[in-house]
Structure 1
Amino acid sequence: MNVPPTKPESGAATVLGSLAGLVHSVRYDELPAGVIKAAKALILDTLGCAYGGLHSDLGIAVRRVAIDCGGSPQSTLIGTGEKTSAALATFVNGSLLRYLDSNDYYFARDPAHPSGNLAVALAVGERERCSGKDLLAALVAAYEVHMRLCNFAGEPSLWKRGWHHGTNAQFSTAALAARLSWDDPLRTAHAMAIAGTHQNTLAQLQSGAVSMIKATVEAWVAKAGVEAALLAGVGVTGPLPLMEGTNGWAASVAGCVDFKALTAPVSGGRYYLLETSVKPYPAVATALAPIRAAIELHRAAVPRPADIEKIVVHLPGFALATPSAHPGRRYPGSIESAQHSFYYCTVIALLDGECGEAQFSPSKLADATVRELLAKTELTEDSALNDLWPQAAGGAVDIHMHDGTVRRHRCPYPPGHPRFPLDAGELADKFYGYAAPVLSRRRAQALHDAVDSMEDCADLRDLTELLAAP
C-alpha cells in the first residue's frame, strides 16, 4: 500500500504505540520452528472450517451481500474464487470460518477465537501481494495481541461487563492489516486507535436464543479492522491515548487493563499462539470435554435410554455461568443454540458416539429419544475442574442407572488442548473432511501442500488461487 509518511507525535508514549511496536517486532526469521509449524496447522484447520460453512444459509447470505456491494477485485472469497474488496472478503471469509463453531479457541479472563484473524491475513496479504513469510509473522503477531488482551484486559472480564469477547479482535485485526500494509508502528497505532473507537460488541449477541448473526461477530469486527487500517493508510489519525485516556477503552469498556503485561516483549520465544486449542467437534469450547467423555461412555457400551435414571454433566463453575448452561438451552431449536447447549451436546454424543455436523440436524434436535434424555440431564459444578480453569475447560459425565450403578468418564483436558493435542491424522481428517467435498481431494491436497510450504510463497496470490473449487 502506498502511504504518505506519518508525522511524529508530540507528548508521551502511548499504550497503543507500545503495542504497535510489539507487532512490528515479530519477524519470521526469528520465530521458533515450533511456532511456525503450529501457525501452519492452525491455518489449515481454519481453512477447513471455512469450507464446512460454505453452503450454510449464513455463508450464502454474506456472499450475496458482498457480491451485491461490489468493490475492487482485491481478494478471493473462499470456495467460490470470486473477488471483492479486502474488507468484504474479510467479512465473508471470517463468517465462513466461524459458522460451524469448529475453529480454534483460547480461555483466559475472556475466551477468544483467534483464528478469526486469518480472514484479515488472507485478504490483506493478497491485496498487498505479501509473501508467505510476511503472512506467518503478521498472523503470529495478531494472535499475540488478541490473546494478551484475553489475559490482561477486563475487570473481571469483558463478558461480565456486558461485552462480547470478539471486542478484543478490533485491536488484533487492525494491527494485522496494518502490519501487512506497511512497516510503520506509529501508523499501525493509529489504525488500532481508529478501530478501538467503534467495534465494542454487546454480549447479548450470544445470549438467549442464538441467532445467525452470531457467526459474524469476529468477522464484522475484522472487516472494521481492515477499514481502520485503510483509513490510517491514507493519513487519517485516531486517538492514540485510546487505551489509557480518561474516557478511554480501559476505563469505559474493560474496567481495567494491565498495560505493562499487555505490551511486554515476548519472552524466550514463547508466543501465545502455542496456547491455542483446536476443536475436534463443532460445538462451544466448554462442551468439548463432556462431549469426549460421553463418546467414551458410548464406546464402552451405551445403556438403553429407558435404563438411565439421570445424566450428570460436571463442569467448571465458569461454564455454568455462561448461556450454554441456561435452562432455555435444554431443548434447543436451532443449530446455533444446540452447539451452545451442554445438555444437547452431551446427550447426542452419548447416543451417537460422535459429534459432527450430522448430530446438529433438525431431525436430531426433534428426536424423541434425544428429548427423553435431555429431560434427565443435569449440570453440576466440579471443584477439581475449577482448579484447572482457565488453563483448561475440562468436563466429566456420570450416567446414573435405575439399578443403582454409575458409569463415569472424566476429561480434565479437552481434546485439542495443548496438553491433549489432536494427532496429525486427526487434524488431517478434519481438514479433508470439510475441504475435499468442496475442492475435490486432489485440490484440497494441493492447498494443504501450499500451506505446508508457505514460507516458499513469494506472492500470496499463488496460494489464494487454490482457495476456489475447480
Structure 2
Amino acid sequence: MTDSTVAMRLARYAHAFRKQHLPEAIIHLVRQRFIDSLACVLGAYGADPVKAAVCYAAANRAKSSSVFGTHLQTTPEIAAFTNGLMVRFLDYNDGYMGLEPGHPSDNIPACLALAQAENATGAELISAIVLAYEIQMRLQDAASLNKRGWDHVNYINVAMAAAAANLMKLDVAQTEQAINIAVSGHLAMRQVRSGALSDWKGCSAANAARNAIFAAQLARHGMTGPSPVFEGEMGFFKLVSGSFDLDTRRFGTPDNGDYAIRRSLTKTFPTNGELHTAVWAALDIRKRIDGVEDIAAITIATSEFNRRVLADTPEKWLPKTRETADHSLPYNVARALLDGDITVDSYRPEKIADPAAIALMDKVSVVEDPALTALFPRHLANRVCVTLVSGEQVVSEMITGPGSVETPMTDGDFERKFRRMAMPHIDASAQAEVLGFVAGLEKQTEFTSLFAAMAVS
C-alpha cells in the first residue's frame, strides 16, 4: 500500500476526516441539505417506483434501518436504496456541475441508513455527509463520465464507500478495499439518462449508494478488491473516465475552509438543475407577452451540455414519462410559458399529454451558443427568444438564479419547500417535529423519532 494510488489517497483522507472539527457554517449547510432532502422524500411518497422499493424492503425486514413514510425496518443497504430513490425521484434535490453533473445529496439517505444501523451520533452523520460531498464533488470536477457513455453515479460508488467506512470506523486499509470493491464491481451506464427515461433514472444513484455500503461491509470482514482500481491496466482511468489528477491535499479542512459542499446548488423547481435558468427566462417572458397564442416560434440558446443532454432526441419534444419530461428543455419552457410555474403537478400524465404543451413544443428549437458553453459549468445559463406572430422578438437571458452559489436559498426557503411537500402527507405537529430534529441534528443520538414523524399514519 502506497499513497501513489487514488484509492489510497482517498482512504487516508477519509480516515483522517473523522477527527475534523467542522465549522458551524458547514454544519449549517448540512442541516439545510438534510431538510431539503426530506422535502424531496415527502414528494415521492406513493410514486410507483417508490412503492416497488418499499415492497422489496417489506420482504427483507431487519431491525436495523428505517424506511421513510412507513414503520418498516430493513437492512442498511436496502434502506439506503429505498430512501435514496425517494430523495432522487422528483429530481428536486441539490446538485453540482463540474466536468460531470451530479447530486451529492444522493449520499444523505445512505449515510442516514448506515448511521442508524451503526448507532452513530448526529455529529458522526454530519461528518460522513460532508465527506461524501467532498469526494463526489471533487471527482465531478476531475473528469467527465457522460461523454464517454458512463453515468455520473459511478462517483457515488467512491464517495459513499468512503463515507460508509467513516461511519463504520474502518481503518485505512479497509477503507481502500471498500473503494476498490465499490468502483470495480458496480459501474452504471449512461443509457439510464438517454432517450425515453425509465423508473431507473431515479434509482441509479440509490443503487450506487447501496452497492457502496455492501462494499464497505465486505471490506470490514477482510474482503479485498482489485487494485490499483483507478490506474490499473484495465482500471477506471483506461476504461471509464480517462486519466485525471486528484490531489487530496487540496480537499476541504478546517484550516482552508474550502469544503466542496459550499458549492452545491439547491433547487426551486422539481426538475433538472441545468434548465432552471431557462424556466426563469420563460417566466420572465410570460409576464411581457399577452398570451401563448401570440407565439410563432421559440428558440432556446443553451450550452453544449444542455443541447446534448436535455434536447438530444425526439422524445424530449414529445415526452411520455415524467422522467423524460423533467429532463426536457422544450417541455419545461413550454410548461412555464403556459402555467407561470413549474411544480410537481407539471409532470402529471395529463399535463405531459396536454395538446397545448405539445403544440408549443412544436414551435421550439434548441441551439448551442458557444458563449453560454464558455460560461459552463460555473454558470448554468440559458437564453429564451420568443418570436411573436407580429414579428416582434422578446428575449430573456438568465445567467444564474435562486439556489445558486451567488443567490443561495435561505433557511426560510428550505422550510417553505419542506412544508409544501409535507402538507399532503404529515400534519403540522409532525412537520414541526421534523424541523426541530434537523435544527439540532448535530446533537442527536438516535434517528427513530425522525422516521416516526415522517411516517404516514
Compare 423-432 and 334-343 and name the one that shifted more.
Answer: 423-432
Q: What is the distance in 1 between the residues matched to 2:171 and 2:94?
A: 30
The partner residue of 1:276 within 261, 264, 285 is: 264
AA matched with 1:360:
Y
Quick one: percent identity of the two aligned structures?
Answer: 30
The residue aligned with 2:31 is 40
The partner residue of 1:362 within 343, 349, 355 is: 349
What SS does structure 1 have at the residue aligned with 2:365?
Answer: strand
Report Cα offsets for 1:262-312 as digits up to 9, x if no partner: 5644361111111111111111122111111112222x2543333211111
Q: TM-score, normalised by structure 2?
A: 0.95
Shift of 1:341: 0.7
Gaps of 5+ in 1: 1-8
Aligned CA distance change for structure 1 residues 12 and 448 (closer, same or farther; 3 Å): closer
Aligned CA distance change for structure 1 residues 27 and 228 (closer, same or farther; 3 Å): closer
Q: What is the distance in 1 between the residues matched to 2:250 and 2:226?
A: 22
AA matched with 2:276:
L
Shift of 1:256: 1.2
The partner residue of 1:402 within 385, 389, 409 is: 389
AA matched with 2:278:
P
The residue aligned with 1:321 is 308
The answer (yes or no) to whether the contact 2:170–2:220 under 8 Å persists in 1 is no
The answer (yes or no) to whether the contact 1:344–1:374 under 8 Å persists in 2 is yes
AA matched with 2:121:
S
The partner residue of 1:148 within 121, 129, 138 is: 138
The partner residue of 2:180 within 184, 188, 193 is: 193
Within a 5 Å distance, the mapping from 1:241-252 to structure 2 comes to 241-252=228-239
Q: What is the distance in 2 between the residues matched to 1:131 and 1:447?
A: 17
The residue aligned with 1:67 is 58
AA matched with 1:55:
G
Q: What is the distance in 1 between the residues matched to 2:368 and 2:167?
A: 45
RMSD: 1.8
Within a 5 Å distance, the mapping from 1:18-417 to structure 2 comes to 18-27=9-18, 30-68=21-59, 70-153=60-143, 157-259=144-246, 261=247, 264-266=250-252, 268-298=256-286, 300-417=287-404
Shift of 1:183: 4.6
Q: TM-score, normalised by structure 1?
A: 0.93
Shift of 1:130: 0.6
Report Cα offsets for 1:428-457 as digits up to 9, x if no partner: 221111123222222122111111111111
Shift of 1:89: 0.3
Q: What is the distance in 2 between the residues matched to 1:331 and 1:420?
A: 33
Shift of 1:111: 0.4
Shift of 1:462: 4.4
AA matched with 2:252:
V
The answer (yes or no) to whether the contact 1:120–1:222 under 8 Å persists in 2 is yes
The answer (yes or no) to whether the contact 2:326–2:347 under 8 Å persists in 1 is yes
Q: What is the distance in 2 between the residues matched to 1:467 and 1:185?
A: 36
Q: What is the distance in 1 between the residues matched to 2:425 and 2:112?
A: 19
Q: What is the distance in 2 between the residues matched to 1:71 and 1:81?
A: 11
Compare 415-424 and 338-347 and name the one that shifted more.
Answer: 415-424
Aligned CA distance change for structure 1 residues 345 and 275 (closer, same or farther; 3 Å): same
The answer (yes or no) to whether the contact 1:28–1:136 under 8 Å persists in 2 is no
The answer (yes or no) to whether the contact 2:100–2:141 under 8 Å persists in 1 is yes
What SS does structure 2 have at the residue aligned with 1:258?
Answer: coil
Q: What is the distance in 2 between the residues matched to 1:28 and 1:415?
A: 34
The answer (yes or no) to whether the contact 2:66–2:74 under 8 Å persists in 1 is yes
Shift of 1:240: 3.9
